[in-house]
Copies of this chain bind each other. A is one copy, B any other.
Amino acid sequence: MLTSQLSDIRSGSMSLATPSPAGAAWQRQAKLWSNLKEVCDLLRIQARVQNDDYQFQHMQFKAGQRIHTIGQPFDMLYIVNSGFLKTVMIDELGNEQVLGFPMKGDMFGIDGIHRKQYSTETVALTNCDVILVPFKIFSGLGRTNAELEAAIYAVMSRELVREQAMISTLGSLSAEARVARFLVFLSERFSDMGYSGTQFNLRMTRQEIGNYLGLTLETVSRTFSAFNAIGLISVDQRAIVIHDLQSLRTLRRLPPSRVRAKAADKKRAAGESAAAA
């Protein structure tokens, strides 16, 4: 029964969460230019703008291609119009760290402003359509339009808050809770983009997910299997069906067997002593 659900997704020639009607169409239909209003809509910021002087160029990337690299001089911000990417940092010890998976409506490249060169690299996981936003021009437009300027600050602040949430996740949650959060995050993101929030295909490997969440790929795989086993989700390779989003939202650890019993004991004991006193 689980298998039948999944086969619906996987066997269908049209993949879920792919905007273009047919697979290879993305390149021919590519939109080459956007005006400021379209850019703002994509970023989900409500700036009343009428300035159509500048047209922002689109650029298409194939899966595997790099949009920017570490150390490259900074002059562009990027906005995802379609497709999926990953942003990676490499620390002084050579460790790779996945920092995020930019998708439709996300801005990336902000880290480059500070030192005038990117401190991360961003790679396309699928074929992508990305809008190029020359930083000088963007901030220049902001200077003539206070509303737009506020929106730019807001987008940067939003990124900051997202990273803070990630720090909190890595600093305090168990492996299961991290994976659960990741699934909830994806679900909400897919919903926002107008796709199904309950069934979708992962665009990244277990390795990349694990790296992102501070776990090994085996732990990610095992956790998916465990969620599958208790009916929270169905997994088959990259295909995911979410059955119980609410449980995923509140999950801290898996059915802790005797831990739960112990907690119950404690609570009971507390109740007794309170009653005795």
- A residues adjacent to B (C-beta < 8 A): 89, 91, 93, 95, 97, 99, 110-115, 119-120, 139, 142-143, 146, 149-150, 153-154, 156-161, 163-168, 170-173, 211-214, 250, 252
The residue from B146, B156, B161, B164 contacting A157, defined by CB atoms under 8 A apart: B156
Q: Which of B91, B171, B212 contacts A211 (CB 8 A)?
A: B171
CB <8 Å contact, B153 and A139 = yes
A157 touches B120 (CB 8 A): no
Please state the number of chain copies in the assembly: 2
B97 touches A168 (CB 8 A): yes
The verdict on A214 contacting B171 (CB below 8 Å), with A99-B164, A164-B111, A165-B91 known, is yes
Since A95-B173, A110-B160 are in contact, a sample of 17 more A-B pairs with Cβ atoms closer than 8 Å, ordered by chain A residue number, is: A89-B165, A89-B168, A93-B250, A93-B252, A97-B172, A99-B164, A99-B167, A99-B168, A111-B157, A111-B161, A113-B154, A120-B164, A139-B149, A139-B153, A142-B149, A160-B163, A171-B212
**A160 CA to B163 CA, complexed, in Å:** 8
Interchain CB contact under 8 A, B91 and A168: yes
Question: What is the CA–CA distance of A142 and B139 in the complex, to the nearest angstrom?
Answer: 11
When C-beta atoms are compared, the residue in chain B nearest to A168 turns out to be B97
Task: Report which of B99, B163, B171 forms a contact with A97, defined as CB distance below 8 A.
Answer: B171
A160 contacts which chain B residues (CB < 8 A)?
Answer: 110-111, 114, 156, 159-160, 163
Chain B residues whose CB sits within 8 angstroms of the CB of A170 once the complex forms: 167, 170-171, 214
CB contacts (< 8 Å) of A143 on chain B: these are 142-143, 146, 149
Q: How far is the CA of A156 from the CA of B110 in the complex (A)?
A: 9
When distances are taken between beta carbons in the complex, the residues of chain B under 8 Å from A156 are 113, 153, 156-157, 160
Which residues of B have CB within 8 Å of A164?
89, 99, 111, 119-120, 163
Inter-chain CA distance A166–B153, complex, in Å, is 22
Bound Cα distance from A172 to B172, whole angstroms: 14
Write out the residue numbers on chain B whose beta carbons fall within 8 Å of the beta carbon of A150.
Answer: 139
